[in-house]
A = this chain, B = another copy of it.
Amino acid sequence: MSGDLIRVSEIFGPTIQGEGALIGQPTVFVRTGGCDYRCKWCDTLHAVDSAYRDQWCPMTPEAVMMQVEILSGGQPLTVSLSGGNPAIQPLGDLIDLGHAEGYRFALETQGSIARDWFSTLDVLTLSPKPPSSGMAIDWQKLAECVEAAGPGTQVVLKVVIFDEADYAFARDAAARYPDLMLYLQPGNHTPPAPEDANGAIDMAGIMDRMRWLVDKVSSDRWYTATVLPQLHTLIWGNLRGV
């Protein structure tokens, strides 16, 4: 048995990935608890705020993988590692266990902490937080994350956009990494409260932002960007566990 325990907020699925490079693809989510960031518009505070720490379960990699296999019916699929910031957790053994069974692993992180086991990931989504988050970007840390990816790792960028400053930030990120696919995602200004797993969501406002983003990208002729909404919020709103 592995010695390092993974702090798990929730494991759920199969559902479809709602964001980014794997949008629409069936997946099981493993959401870890704990984050080094406190984004103003965080939509998963239940996995971030340490006030909810008593809801996070320390689990061995074997126990996590067992739960994933139960949910997937033992049939391999892509496991989405999310958080919080999953880079805080010791996930290397879990990835190795799953790979041995044919599972694939996609991890999303803000890119503030690089891990050597990033090299074993199938997909690494780096989502540097723009100005509206209230967090400061450390481009050096992001670079370390990009460099930690392995030869078999697909690395992509994803930036949540609320306003012009965020958009300018995303353009800067794209200029730094012209060879990486970059996904722009309209932000949700009505994220769920952690104690409310199905709060109201201003879908009309989010879709207004989506249209604005498409217009921006088109008029700026930024044709290498990809603009995608959070599909799960369109389907299920702020409902948790789907």
Contact = CB atoms under 8 A, between A and B. Distances in A.
Contact of A14 (B221, B231, B235, B236): B221
Contacts of A76: 223
Contacts of A222: 26
B214 A16 contact: yes
A235 B223 contact: no
A221 B15 CA distance: 10
Interface string A200-242: 0000000100110010011001110111110100111000000
Interface in A170-195: 183
Contact residues of A: prevailing secondary structure:
mixed
Interface string A135-172: 00000000000000000000000000000000000000
Given A16-B227, A227-B16, A26 B234 contact: no
A229 B74 CA distance: 28
Contacts of A24: 23, 183, 226-228
Given A210-B235, A235-B207, A26 B217 contact: yes
Per assembly, the copies of the chain total 2
Contact of A218 (B23, B26, B221): B26
Contacts of A231: 228-229
Nearest to A183: B24
A50 interface: no
Contacts of A227: 16, 24, 26
A24 B16 CA distance: 17
A77 interface: yes
A73 interface: yes
A72 interface: yes
A26 B211 contact: no
Given A23-B23, A229-B231, A235-B214, A14 B223 contact: yes
Identify which of A16, A73, A211 gathers the most chain B CB atoms within 10 Å of its CB.
A16
Interface of A: 13-16, 23-26, 72-73, 75-78, 183, 207, 210-211, 214, 217-218, 221-223, 225-229, 231, 234-236
17 contacts: A13-B218, A14-B217, A14-B223, A15-B218, A16-B217, A16-B226, A23-B23, A23-B24, A23-B228, A24-B228, A26-B218, A26-B222, A26-B227, A72-B221, A210-B235, A228-B231, A229-B234
